[in-house]
Structure formats: C-alpha cells, structure tokens
Amino acid sequence: MLARRALPRLQQPFRPYHRPRFYSTTELSNGITLAYDLHEPPASKSSSSNAPIVFIHGLFGSKTNNRSMSKVFARELNRPVYAIDLRNHGDSSHDQRHDYTALAEDIELFLKQHDLKQSTLIGHSMGAKAAMTVALRQNVHIANLIPVDNAPVDAALKSDFGKYIQGMRKIEDANVQKQSEADAILKAYEPALPIRQFLLTNLMRTPDGNQKFRVPINWLAKSLDHMADFPFTDPDAARFNGPTLIVRGTKSPYVADEMLPTIGRFFPRFEVRDIEAGHWLISEKPEEFRKAVVEWLQDKE
C-alpha cells in the first residue's frame, strides 16, 4: 500500500516541526516504512517499459542528498528514479536492527511492492554494500548494479564515523537552538565544512525549540561494526552475473586495488571508473559522476 500518512507509533521517526515536507511512503510487510521521492522522466519520453533506477544513500544520508542527481538521471536516461530513505534515515521508520541483510530485505520488499523490474541499483557507501547484498541474495531480479565507493569485503570504517557520532551526541546534550551552534560543536570532530553541512542536514527543530537529530544516534552507533562487515564471504557461493559498474574515488581507501580480485569473483562482469575525489565523490565531482553513470547505462541499453 502506498500512502502519505503517519507511521506506526513504535517506529515513528523524528519529524520536522518547523516546516512540512512532502514525500511518499511504502509500508513493507516486515513492518518497516520507507520514505522515497519519485523523479519521473519527461512526460514526452515516459514509458511503462522504461527500466527504473533505485538510488540509495550512505550512512547519515537521505534521499535529499541524491535529489539533484536523480532529476538529472531521470531526464538524461528517460527512466524513473526512486530515491529512497533506508531504515533509520531521513523520513523512514526506525528499528534497532541495522545491518546489510536487513537493509537488503527492505530494498527487496520495496522493489516487489512497486513491481519494479529490470532495475538499476545505485548505492553510495553504506548504500553500495546494501545494493551489492541485494544483488548477491538474488531474491529479486535486477538488471544493473552501480556500487559507489565501497567494496564487498569486511573493512573497518574510517574512525571519522565514530567521531561523527561523538559530535552528534555532544550537540544533542548541549540542547542547541541554532544550527550555527551545532556547527561550532561539530567543528571539533570534523574540520571539513561540506561534511559538517551534510551531517547537519539531519537536524530538526523540536517543539521546545531545540535542535535534535532525526536519525537514532544510539542505534546507529551500535551498528557501526555491522556497517564495516559484508554478509557474503565466499564468492563461489554467491555471484551476480549482471553488468556492474564500480565507481570509486581515487583519494578514498574503500575500494583499493587489492580488493579488485575479490570484486571480480563476486561480480565477474564488473568495470571500474575512477574519479579524482574522496569518499564523497558524488558531491565533490557531480559532473564526472553523472557522465560515468549516464554513459555506462546508455551503453547497456
């Protein structure tokens, strides 16, 4: 059932009080409700046969991070783009369980409920591992896979993510009322302004005027080890034979050259596109990312 309505009480995510936001939701059979934005291709080129794209954000992100790029893909590829909020992020419901198997199940149920066939999954960071997990589980059919700056391996997260959690907790403890106050606190944990701005997109104002995070910080903190893991360890037992594009940042450690043989065993039809950027390559080099994805998908049509 598709709806724009309140979520079940026990899974009600933090909601903004200062302004309304419009999005769609899908209640899944496992009790999770996923929020999403649908970006349609131009009306003159729209067709029921246009294969959909599902765009999946990373840790502490949301569907809004991919809004501009989703609109570009819908226009240039003439395909509907579903930008989703994973559980515990954005406007989706909260749940104590947060690992890649759970995230993959949510995505699979979303694809089934919307009857999305021949889909392309694009995921960044946490979203990349979630998308790869969907592909390897083979519970739903997908046509193409585009993991962005993550690999199908167990690899420790950079310590930055733990620092982000510390800074976010410090902000909530301080009961700040202005985003500038939150930024001043977070500066001690992350010097880069663009990353601080990204994290602070999760801030919302409560009725008492304080700024709180809409993501469940404590639950996500307990899940950081799960975000470093990957649920598949044997490439001989699970394999995705569809076209796969690995987009990686040359200044990021998450898809090192020594990981490529493992990637090739899980995804034998993979290709690599390098972008001179760090882990946040979609926001750092949007034009290079757009070109890599659009040209690759057009070649696969």
Q: Which residue has the tokens 């076209």?
A: 243
β-strands 270-275, 244-249 pairing: parallel
Q: Assess contact for 179 and 198: CB atoms under 8 A.
A: no
Residues contacting 137, CB < 8 A, separation 6+: 104, 108, 238
Among this protein's residues, is 57 annotated catalytic?
no
Q: Are 98 and 60 within 8 A, CB to CB?
A: no
E strands present in the chain: 2-3, 24-27, 33-39, 53-56, 81-84, 119-124, 142-148, 203-205, 211-213, 244-249, 270-275
**Which residue in the list 125, 223, 252, 283 is annotated as catalytic?**
125
> Which one from 62, 226, 279, 283 is the annotated catalytic residue?
279
Q: What are the E-state strand segments in 185-278? A: 203-205, 211-213, 244-249, 270-275
Tell me how far CA of residue 87 lies from CA of 33, 116, 296, in angstroms: 8, 19, 29
Strand partners, 274: 248
Give the CA count within 13 Å in the CB-facing half-sphere of 211.
19
Measured distance between the N- and C-terminal CA atoms of the chain, rounded to whole angstroms = 31
Is 124 an active-site residue? Answer: no
Q: Which positions are annotated as active-site residues?
A: 125, 279
